[in-house]
């Protein structure tokens, strides 16, 4: 019995230490991306893209006195399941790193990582305790920056670009998942307004997948001026809290989780007011917290919920919360479809 208690105690300690040291994963990943380490390994010309420690050090211009440090970083990346180490002490990329962390990969999530681990973004997380206990306190990001996130993005072109890069890097795979798992939501749609559509990454993907659809990308003036119009994609500037252009369908792709229930309700009501025709609809592609998700998927969604709360005052929602919000906005018929992505597709009609 004593041995059992000792084992339980050791496991409990390990659990706490793993949580405390999770920041090391983040910082080692930041280091690897800044050095373009994954691309260096991938582009190496040796057989099977293997690279030795000294070859990698040369490629990354690591001084000889830091080669042992590089070895320790690589060992940790292997523990993170991002690298494979062969018996000959050569290194290869795992599938996860090759597909999602190389700058040259069309599915790369590197822009998301860089955006999330900016110093001010990480700094905002230090304000969670104060935000929790101080009624009326501004959002943690506002305490760090002295302004709201979207005000910061409007003023800082660099941040605006990094934000757009982060959002666009996963758009292709997300839209592909929508097409494969729920493409019927665009059946019969002639014009869709991509509300809060940024520079048009989602809109272009939609019209490419659905040739009969025309898309109006609707966002703030400083955002749409960066967009590039194309066949069946046009841009229109405006404020989604005031009004949206009339259409038979509206798309809100990863928009509503940026906002509180009160603000999200305003957006939904503007869409409801602008629907044209008896078959008009609202298409939402957004995260839904689902108790049937795997433990890993639940962790990702709950972590995003904390990020949304910290940075923009938004939230991730359960199906019950989504239904309540949509009903308040005048959408009485809702269908939820799970797709092979973090998001669900919600088709809502008045």
**∠ CA 331-251-234, rounded to 5°:** 140
Q: How far apart are CA 182 and CA 116, in angstroms?
A: 29
CB 166 within 8 A of CB 328: no
Query: How many other β-carbons are positioned within 10 Å of the β-carbon of residue 247?
Result: 25
With a CB cutoff of 8 Å and minimum separation 6, the contacts of 278 are none
Give 164's strand partners. Answer: none
Burial degree of 105 (CB within 10 A; 0-12, 13-18, 19+): middle
3-state secondary structure 245-265: CCECEEEEECCHHHCCHHHHH
* Distance (Å, whole) CA 132 – CA 144: 16
344 is catalytic: no
Cα(48)–Cα(72) distance, integer angstroms: 23
3-state secondary structure of 91: strand
Closest CA to 105 of 195, 9, 36: 36
Catalytic residue from among 44, 109, 257, 344: 257
Question: Which residues belong to the active site?
Answer: 257
């Amino acid at each position: 019995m004593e041995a059992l208690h000792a084992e339980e105690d050791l496991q409990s300690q390990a659990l706490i230490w793993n949580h405390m040291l999770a920041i090391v994963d983040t910082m080692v990943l930041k280091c690897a991306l800044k050095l373009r380490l994954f691309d260096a390994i991938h582009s190496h010309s040796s057989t099977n893209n293997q690279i030795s420690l000294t070859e990698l050090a040369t490629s990354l211009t690591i001084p000889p006195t830091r080669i042992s440090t590089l070895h320790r970083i690589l060992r940790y990346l292997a523990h993170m399941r991002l690298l494979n180490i062969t018996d000959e002490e050569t290194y290869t990329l795992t599938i996860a790193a090759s597909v999602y962390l190389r700058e040259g990969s069309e599915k790369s999530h590197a822009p998301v990582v860089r955006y999330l681990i900016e110093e001010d973004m990480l700094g905002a997380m230090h304000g969670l305790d104060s935000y929790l206990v101080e009624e009326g306190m501004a959002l943690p990001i506002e305490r760090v920056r002295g302004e709201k996130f979207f005000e910061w993005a409007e003023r800082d072109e660099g941040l605006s670009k990094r934000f757009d890069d982060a959002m666009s890097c996963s758009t292709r795979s997300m839209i592909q998942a929508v097409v494969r798992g729920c493409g019927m939501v665009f059946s019969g749609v002639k014009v869709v307004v991509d509300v809060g559509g940024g520079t048009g990454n989602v809109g272009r993907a939609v019209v490419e997948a659905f040739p009969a659809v025309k898309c109006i990308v609707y966002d703030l003036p400083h955002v749409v001026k960066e967009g590039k119009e194309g066949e069946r994609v046009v841009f229109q500037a405006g404020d989604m809290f005031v009004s949206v252009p009339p259409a038979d369908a509206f798309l809100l792709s990863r928009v509503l989780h940026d906002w509180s229930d009160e603000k999200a309700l305003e957006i939904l009501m503007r869409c409801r007011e602008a629907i044209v025709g008896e078959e008009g609809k609202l298409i939402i592609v957004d995260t839904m917290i689902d108790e049937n998700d795997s433990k890993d998927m639940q962790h990702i969604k709950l972590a995003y919920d904390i990020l949304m709360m910290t940075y923009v005052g938004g939230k991730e929602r359960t199906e019950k919360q989504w239904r309540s919000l949509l009903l308040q906005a005048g959408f009485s018929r809702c269908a939820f479809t799970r797709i092979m992505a973090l998001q669900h597709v919600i088709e809502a009609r008045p």
